[in-house]
Amino acid sequence: MSADKPHETEYFIGLMSGTSLDGVDAALVEFPPEHPPSLLNTHYLPFNDSLRKRLLDLHHPQPDEIHLAALAGNDLADCYAHAIRALISEFTELPVRAIGCHGQTLRHRPDSGYTLQIGNAARLAELTGITVVADFRNRDIAAGGQGAPLVPAFHARVLAHAAQHRVIANLGGIANITDLPTHGLIRGWDTGPGNMLMDAWVQRHRNEGYDRDGQWAATGKIHADLLSQLMAHPYLALLPPKSAGREQFNLDWLDSQLAKLARPAKAADVQATLLEFTAASLAHAIQTQCGGVEAVYLCGGGAHNTALRTRLTTLLPGVKLATTTALGIEPDWVEAMAFAWLARQTLHQQPGNLPAVTGAAGPRVLGAVYFA
């Protein structure tokens, strides 16, 4: 493993399956010398209902869970390989150097010194015949960091601008931001829930995977008491570096907050309040921690939520709000592209973390490599 042939164009694949548990984003990325990376192709493969349910169930303790997690990891590898075959079907002669595979997070406990992503990278290398880089987060945690978020390093390399103070806001299952000032320290952290609670609530009440454009939320009214309780979550008061997941924001926690209300809330009102919770927690983080920001660029699935974008526009007056399309990368592919970049960093023995973001003791080369 070495930083060989930096003068040649390289090709990497990035895979991302996040806390939304909807499916796999696969990106084929070209890295020309001395130029920004570019997307050559993308493919999205949704999880089937059985795999999605098994992955969701594995977020809770259950009998024989080690065996069940191993089986799910094998199935994930098969799913990843299927996505890759579709991704490169028209690029079979391209010399893809490696796959950057985030894996599926089952536990994220940096407070206990570990994080767990499954996906059987060894099996994926065998199935594809391509070198796989995986397990990006644990080295940062071993160095005292949060292990997340990792994409700010990619944002800083590709999306920063010398004359505009930008924030990149990723609205996945969890929302996270990267603060890119024109001068000074680059920072990033998870601000709270993104789509996670909204998706879970609409799945429970309408048997739909997500609330398209926030249409159902728009039929409800914000429940002031519930919003106040949600905004009192201790995580929101923590200063960065910090990271979050289903451990902090889940339906059990939401149910406990609903049980405190004097009167039951209507389901549509809860959805409206959850949308406001995502928008308000994100906007508060930007306003209090990213002074002087001029523009916020959204990526992730939540960037398509019209109602959510409208609320963010209102809550961030005087700040330009757009999606990363304006910066040349479609919102759905930023994270997958980032893990292609992180795999490239690993093979070139270059750091993939930003200590100011994660809190690690210093820059670290991330990931475990499974050579083809």
293/165 same-domain check: yes
Question: Cα 183 from chain centroid?
Answer: 26
Amino acid at 173: G
Q: Which residues of 58-95 are buried (b: 16+ CB within 10 A; e: fewer)?
A: bbeeeeeeeeebeebbebbbebbbebbeebbeeeeeee
What's 167's domain CATH number? Answer: 3.30.420.40
Q: What is the pLDDT of residues 152-210, one digit of tens each?
A: 999 999 999 999 999 999 999 999 999 999 999 999 999 999 999 999 999 999 999 99
Total number of domains constituting the chain: 2
Half-sphere exposure of 359 (CA within 13 A, CB side): 17
Average pLDDT, the chain: 96
Determine the structural domain holding residue 254 and report its residue range. 160-327
Give me the mean pLDDT over the 348-367 stretch.
98
308/360 same-domain check: no
Q: Taking the model in full, what pTM does it have?
A: 0.96
Residue indicated by tokens 């991330």: 366
Q: Is the pLDDT of residue 21 over 80?
A: yes
Whether 130 is in a domain gets the answer yes
Residue 2: its pLDDT value, please? 44
107/137 same-domain check: yes
- Rounded-to-integer distance, Cα 84 and Cα 215, Å: 33
Q: Is the pLDDT of residue 334 over 70?
A: yes
Residue 5: its pLDDT value, please? 53
Residue indicated by tokens 């699935």: 301
- Token pair listed for 134: 């995986």
185/118 same-domain check: no
Q: What is the pLDDT of residues 56-73, one digit of tens each?
A: 999 999 999 999 999 999
Torsion angle of C-alpha atoms 209, 212, 218, 222, degrees rounded to 10: 40
Residue 151: its pLDDT value, please? 97
Confirm if 159 and 170 have CB atoms less than 8 A apart.
no
- Token pair listed for 75: 């199935």
24/113 same-domain check: yes
User: What are the φ and ψ backbone dihedral angles of 79, each rounded to 5 degrees?
Assistant: -65, -45
Would you place residue 4 in the very low, low, confident or very high pLDDT band (cuts 50, 70, 90)? Answer: low
Whether 293 is in a domain gets the answer yes
Give me the mean pLDDT over the 323-341 stretch.
98
What is the SS3 assignment for 170? strand
Whether 152 is in a domain gets the answer no
Percent of the chain at pLDDT exceeding 70: 98
199/255 same-domain check: yes
- Rounded-to-integer distance, Cα 202 and Cα 267, Å: 9
186/304 same-domain check: yes
Would you place residue 336 in the very low, low, confident or very high pLDDT band (cuts 50, 70, 90)? Answer: very high
Residue 18: its pLDDT value, please? 86
Q: What is the pLDDT of residues 277-324, one digit of tens each?
A: 999 999 999 999 999 999 999 999 999 999 999 999 999 999 999 999
Q: Is the pLDDT of residue 1 over 50?
A: no
- Token pair listed for 66: 């080690």
